[in-house]
A = this chain, B = another copy of it.
């Protein structure tokens, strides 16, 4: 568990985002146990309440569930897990397109740029 924070977005939002990315990647099996509020807070050097807020929202979105006072777990509902991935992809595509259109940039030319930079990023990994 390792999250790099930016200063712009609220920390709890970034935490949620991080979990969604992991889910989208398939890094979490359904029912997978996630760190307790306090433990994750320790790892990330943030306040337990900030984690709590993130977890609470994830619970409302059915991404995780909590039984009694056991550590929370990733949902077992595979439809939800799948939709997370679709949501992130669709979001990325929409943001991208609206950015491009807002400045009337020609798509083909931009696509080439994406292709090229993607490959460069690929090599850096």
The chain A residues found within 8 Å of chain B, CB to CB, are 21, 24-26, 85, 88-89, 91-105, 107, 110-111, 113-115, 117-118, 121
Are B103 and A89 in contact (CB-based, < 8 A)? yes
Q: Given A107-B118, A118-B107, are A113 and B100 neighbors across the interface (CB < 8 Å)?
A: no
Are B97 and A110 in contact (CB-based, < 8 A)? no
Assembly stoichiometry (copies): 2
Are B113 and A89 in contact (CB-based, < 8 A)? yes
Which chain B residue lies CB-closest to A100?
B92
10 A–B contacts from the bound complex (CB under 8 Å): A21-B103, A24-B103, A24-B105, A25-B102, A85-B103, A88-B103, A91-B99, A92-B99, A95-B96, A97-B121
Which chain B residue lies CB-closest to A26?
B104
